């Protein structure tokens, strides 16, 4: 059988070489197709390769009667309807590693240009000014680079900075002491990093937790004369706060490749002489463009020749009979992971998932992926999925274990998730109840019966009369209504927990007020 591949965006011939050379694969490159034209043509193809120009809609996917795989020559897949692809059994692959070197080098180029004021000096020369005095820079040697986000690019930047004989302090929610030691960097919190760094570079996804991570409060904690680089995502640095910090003299300079709104040709930051900027060029190298095309081309060949793909971004197919048995547990598994990561402050080193009861005799790998996805979602956002969750956890040195037992301790089915950190371990257990759905039935040593849904407050406190009332009074003052409440305790007068579902999110200020109450040990607000 001969397979047909359609390439609807311009890709270099070097990039699609694996497709051209593969046996029984025909390749057509037809660019500038309208959505209607692509929808009509896709019916004759087994694979589709795109970059960012082509929008692969639900209608196009539905019309791809032979379509088996969609390859995105790049990192993001925002232009592909992942839900529709999964629903139609179409694997979507991308190239997460193809631009790592390019983005890392661009970050270092921006760092050096910022330190030595190269763009400003060049601009002065264009104005026929031979001005050395105004463009005195600083050396990188001996300076501290703060790296916020130690994924692929963050790690590469850290290694390159060490080559410049810089000290590196890094923050990442999954960076362990052992991993930091292997990389030759020191590990700190975001607050510790911004306090000690002479230069700060950010390399995190843009999520609710990371939006404006570098804000007015962070700037107040930084050294005078600090300099910042953002070649990751616009919005990680609060641009208004950055502007004010530069004008006030707190920040000596900033190098920006990305902005909250792009194109950013009229941005007021560009009016400041301390700012250098490029138009989102992190992945814009000949090599990067070829590498991402090569990576997805190899994956397309793998799938069409019966092999496993390397970089899938949507859920792999699961046999229908297995899916019927485990699908009801997907929601529970993800929520258990999400809950546990919210109540775990330390770096997770090991995850063990115990399956009991009717899950004893079925393949639970998809449930494990879903649990890990829930645990990592808080830090990775929509980038995390069922397929890449275990891979990303492994990349960060997290050990994943599965165990099965027929013993259920009174439940027909039970999933227990345990995480281990240097400071200890935490567990959460859940079950499916007929007619009632997912329930959390145990948190550490406390028995509860709680529906993992919506805005939740998890409170660890001393078992004393009035503790619940004090919490209720604080929430009432902020017009926060309690929908449900569960309490659990080990011994009378000992430690206890509260699990409250509330009608709206509880902000950090209210959490601080609750934490300050007598006999309250800790308060965590989360959205499940």
* Tokens encoding 78: 């925002």
- Cβ(362)–Cβ(325) under 8 Å? yes
Angstrom distances, CA of residue 365 to CA of 322, 397, 402: 11, 19, 9
- Strand 25-29 relative to strand 455-462, pairing: unpaired
Contacts of 49 (CB under 8 A, 6+ apart): 5, 6, 7, 8, 9, 11, 16, 19, 70, 71, 73, 293, 296, 297, 300
Contacts of 439 (CB under 8 A, 6+ apart): 430, 431, 432, 433, 449, 450, 451, 452
Which among 72, 106, 203, 233 is annotated as catalytic? 233
Per the annotation, the verdict on 212 as an active-site residue is no
- Strand 495-502 relative to strand 455-462, pairing: antiparallel
Pairwise CA distance, residues 157 & 341, whole Å = 27
Per the annotation, the verdict on 58 as an active-site residue is no
Q: Give the distance, in angstroms, between the CA of residue 150 and the centroid of all CA atoms in the same chain.
A: 11
Helix (H, G, I), strand (E, B) or coil at 388: coil
Which among 4, 88, 116, 280 is annotated as catalytic? 280
Establish how many alpha carbons lie within 13 A of residue 341's alpha carbon, considering only the half-sphere containing its beta carbon. Answer: 24
Per the annotation, the verdict on 280 as an active-site residue is yes
| Residues recorded for the chain | 528
Which among 262, 327, 361, 394 is annotated as catalytic? 262
Q: Annotated active-site positions, please?
A: 233, 262, 280
């Amino acid at each position: 059988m001969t397979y047909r591949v359609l390439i609807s965006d311009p890709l270099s011939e070097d990039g699609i070489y694996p497709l051209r050379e593969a046996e029984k694969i025909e390749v057509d490159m037809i660019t500038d197709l309208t959505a209607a034209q692509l929808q009509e043509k896709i019916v004759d193809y087994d694979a589709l390769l795109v970059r960012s120009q082509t929008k692969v809609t639900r209608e196009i996917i539905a019309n791809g009667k032979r379509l088996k795989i969609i390859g995105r020559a790049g990192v993001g897949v925002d232009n592909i309807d992942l839900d529709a692809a999964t629903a139609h059994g179409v694997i979507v692959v991308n190239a997460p590693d193809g631009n790592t070197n390019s983005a890392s080098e661009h970050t270092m180029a921006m760092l050096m240009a910022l330190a030595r004021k190269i763009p400003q000096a060049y601009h002065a020369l264009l104005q026929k000014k031979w001005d050395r005095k105004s463009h005195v820079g600083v050396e990188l040697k001996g300076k501290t680079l703060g790296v916020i986000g130690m994924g692929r690019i963050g790690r590469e930047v850290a290694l390159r900075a060490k080559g410049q004989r810089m000290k590196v302090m890094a923050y990442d929610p999954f960076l362990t002491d052992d991993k930091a030691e292997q990389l030759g960097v020191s590990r700190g919190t975001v607050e510790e990093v911004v306090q000690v760094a002479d230069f700060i570079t950010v390399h995190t996804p843009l999520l609710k937790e990371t939006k404006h991570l570098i804000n007015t409060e962070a700037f107040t904690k930084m050294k005078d004369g600090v300099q910042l680089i953002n070649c990751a995502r616009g919005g990680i640095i609060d641009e208004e706060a950055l502007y004010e910090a530069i004008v006030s003299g707190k920040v000596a300079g900033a190098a920006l490749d990305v902005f909250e709104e792009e194109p950013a040709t009229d941005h007021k930051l560009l009016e400041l002489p301390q700012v250098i900027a490029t138009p989102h060029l992190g992945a814009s190298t000949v090599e990067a463009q070829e590498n991402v095309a090569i990576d997805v081309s190899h994956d397309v060949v793998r799938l069409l020749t019966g092999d496993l793909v390397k970089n899938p971004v949507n859920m792999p197919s699961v046999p229908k009979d297995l899916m019927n048995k485990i699908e009801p547990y997907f929601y529970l598994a993800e929520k258990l992971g999400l809950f546990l990561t919210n109540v775990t402050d330390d770096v997770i080193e090991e995850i063990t998932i115990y399956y009991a009861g009717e899950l004893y005799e079925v393949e639970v790998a998809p449930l494990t992926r879903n649990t890990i996805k829930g645990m990592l979602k808080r830090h990775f956002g929509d980038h995390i999925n069922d397929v890449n969750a275990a891979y990303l956890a492994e990349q960060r040195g997290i050990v994943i274990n599965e165990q099965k037992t027929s013993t259920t301790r009174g439940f027909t089915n039970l999933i227990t998730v345990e995480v281990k950190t240097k400071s200890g371990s935490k567990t959460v257990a859940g079950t499916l109840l007929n007619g009632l759905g997912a329930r959390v039935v145990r948190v550490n040593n406390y028995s509860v019966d709680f529906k993992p849904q919506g805005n939740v407050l998890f409170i660890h406190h001393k078992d004393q009369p009035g503790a619940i009332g004090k919490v209720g009074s604080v929430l009432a003052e902020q017009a926060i209504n309690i929908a449900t409440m569960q309490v659990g305790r080990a011994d009378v007068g000992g430690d206890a927990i509260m699990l409250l579902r509330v009608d709206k999110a509880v902000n950090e200020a209210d959490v601080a007020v609750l934490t300050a109450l007598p006999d309250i040990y800790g308060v965590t607000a989360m959205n499940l």
